Amino acid sequence: MTSAATSYATWHTEPQGDVSMAESHSPYWRHFIETIPERDFSSKTVLDFGCNRGGFLRLLHALRPFRRGVGIDIASESIAAADAAKGGMPVQFHVTTDLSPWADSFDVAFSYEVVYLLPELKQHANQMYGVMRNGGVYYAVTGCHTEMPLWPKFRELIGGNSNAPVQDYSPQDYIDAFVAAGFEVSVKRFGFNGFVQASKDRKYYPSILDALAYPAEYKLLFRLEKRA
């Protein structure tokens, strides 16, 4: 299934960038999964919005096996790679941004560093509200916002690497969009306290202290609940 919106082969302008991005995100995905309060996914239907190559859903299924999963993205080659790697997992991957086929379908949804790229944030919030079941929770993580001290540098670097245009949203913009859609919104610092690679290219982080502070203090975890 494809959407009317523009699709890309890969999110990164450099095709291998999506592979390296998945590798670098893996410890943060693990922290994400371990941070949320839900532990038993055996009866849950889950959505990964902006799933790229499917790595998050594979890790989630390994740690918290779910009943059924859906991953969507606009990067067609990445979705093809996700589909090829899914093995026997109960997951479907789709190249789309249109959520209308999944009304009232999901118990838990996730997005990781995706919402800052969405040109129609309010539309996204409304669509996500529509696909969540009553009592369902959408967890959205992003550190890309205008109150993050390194945002001007991040915006320039990400804009140069991404096929998707980068947007300028404040934390309050995210809150307002999801409240307007009907979600009960709460938020916490992402709080990553694991080891950060000290020797890798730190072009995003002028100091190693910036590399430590970004996932611990400035990256935000939004909890968006659809109340019955």
| Residue 119, domain CATH | 3.40.50.150
The pTM is what?
A: 0.93
The answer to whether position 12 is within a domain reads no
- Find how far residue 106's CA is from the centre of its chain: 16
The answer to whether position 3 is within a domain reads no
Reported as a single tens digit per residue, the pLDDT across 49-102 is 999 999 999 999 999 999 999 999 998 999 999 999 999 999 999 999 899 999
The answer to whether position 192 is within a domain reads yes
Q: What is the pLDDT of residue 4?
A: 38
The answer to whether position 7 is within a domain reads no
| Alpha-carbon span 224 to 221, nearest angstrom | 10
Count of domains observed in the chain: 1
Q: What is the pLDDT of residue 159?
A: 87
The answer to whether position 8 is within a domain reads no
Cα 123–127–133 angle (5° rounding)? 155
CB 169 within 8 A of CB 175: no
The answer to whether position 61 is within a domain reads yes
| Alpha-carbon span 194 to 215, nearest angstrom | 10
The answer to whether position 24 is within a domain reads yes
Reported as a single tens digit per residue, the pLDDT across 96-138 is 989 999 999 999 999 999 999 999 999 999 999 999 999 999 9
Q: Which residues fall within 8 angstroms of residue 211, CB to CB, at 6 or more apart?
A: 196, 198, 202, 204, 205
The answer to whether position 9 is within a domain reads no
Instruction: Give the domain extent around 109.
Output: 17-225
Reported as a single tens digit per residue, the pLDDT across 15-34 is 665 556 667 889 999 999 99
Reported as a single tens digit per residue, the pLDDT across 164-222 is 789 999 999 999 999 999 999 999 999 999 999 898 778 899 999 999 999 999 999 99
